[in-house]
A and B are shown apart, each in its own frame.
Chain A
Amino acid sequence: MSTGGDDATGGRGRRRAEWMARAQDGDREAYRALLDDVRPLVLAWLRRWLDDEADLADVYQDTLVHLHRARHTYDPARPFEPWLFALARHCAADHGRRLRQRTREVLVGDVPDVAVEGEPAQPALADALRTLPRPQREAFSMLKLEGLSVAAAASRAGTTPGALKVRAHRAYKALKAFLRS
């Protein structure tokens, strides 16, 4: 037995499918109605994976462009949402890949120029830390010396938790290699 909520959801889904079918036929009003209607849906879905507003805006924009380019592949006989979320998921994953790539490039290219606050007790570790690029050193210091959470450290560094974790991971690897040598 379906509930009122299910009916409402089913009704919205059918309406979106209908708008999309009309958009495929070139109906601009239906297309605008659809793009306006899916906005909160896509943003809410993307928020589950992205907490940075700039990233969210980027991926949302990508999703709209992909939706537009792939609109001929939608089959009006099938539900609209799985098709839409497949595009959104692809855009989010693509963005994640690009972000990791960018983070790697930044870390490789960065040169340490500022001493860290809060020196560690062991001199060997302090020496090792000085050899790290600044973003990695900051990530390590905030997480391990100051004891901040990943979210708080990412917020202070002005980056995403994912990128901060990558920096910290690289710092651990570099420190381990330095201390071993």
Chain B
Amino acid sequence: MSEPGWERRLVDRLVADAHPVRRLWSPEVRLVVWLAIAVAVLIAPATRVLRDDLVLRLRNPAFVLEQGLMLVGAVFLGLEAVRAAVPGQGAGRASTIVGWGALGLALIWMLREPVHGGWSVDTFLDVGRPCIWRAVAWGAVPWIVLLIALRRGAPLARRRAGVLAGAATWALVCPALRVCCQTDELLHLSVFHALPLVAGAALSAALAPILLAESHAR
């Protein structure tokens, strides 16, 4: 195909617009920066409302394993999210499996707690309200920061990048909730800890095509 006039004009226009751009940091560096910001944002409010029996709970290997798995999931899914913003650095199969696998195991592990049968609906909602509020408030800043990091790149599969960003964010929020919440009960954990994570990932996926649209070279 000989080069048509429109193509020459397009190339001329692109070349004329070729101002210097700031290269994107590597995904690993961006992940570390995001984790640092997210942890800083989470630590301040979480340390004010730590559960009374935290020291005791931290001696329980099952509790520590659950939080550890959640953090591993957050790190790997966060890494995949920032990778998704770089063309050609598609899904790392191993890290995706580790990320989702760790998150799934942590959720299953978390939901092994017994059911408390004696609560009224009002009590159940009263006990859960602070957790929902914290899940939303504590997750908002890390999620927005991660979306900004993704927008600085060029995410091609925006919905995928969105679901990864949401899952990574609320997987990081989950352990913070657990070290603050006194309630180790199946329904409470399902509705007020696990559900915000799932809802956060779903909402992030739904909004990503809009929020991650059109990123430009800087």
Contacts and interface: CB of A to CB of B under 8 A. Distances in A.
Interface of A: 23-28, 31-32, 35-36, 39, 43, 53, 56-57, 60-61, 64-66, 68-76, 78, 82-87, 90
Main SS class of interface, B: loop
B11 A24 contact: no
Main SS class of interface, A: helix
Contacts of B24: 72-73, 75
Contacts of A57: 4, 6-7
A75 B17 contact: no
B19 A26 contact: yes
Contacts of B153: 70, 73
B1 A43 contact: yes
B154 interface: yes
B126 interface: no
A72 B25 CA distance: 10
B215 interface: yes
A32 to B, nearest CB: 5
B55 interface: no
24 contacts: A24-B20, A24-B23, A26-B19, A26-B21, A31-B15, A31-B18, A35-B15, A36-B11, A39-B7, A61-B7, A61-B10, A64-B11, A66-B154, A68-B17, A70-B217, A71-B21, A72-B21, A72-B217, A73-B154, A82-B88, A83-B87, A84-B88, A87-B156, A90-B156
Contacts of A87: 87-88, 156
B217 A69 contact: yes
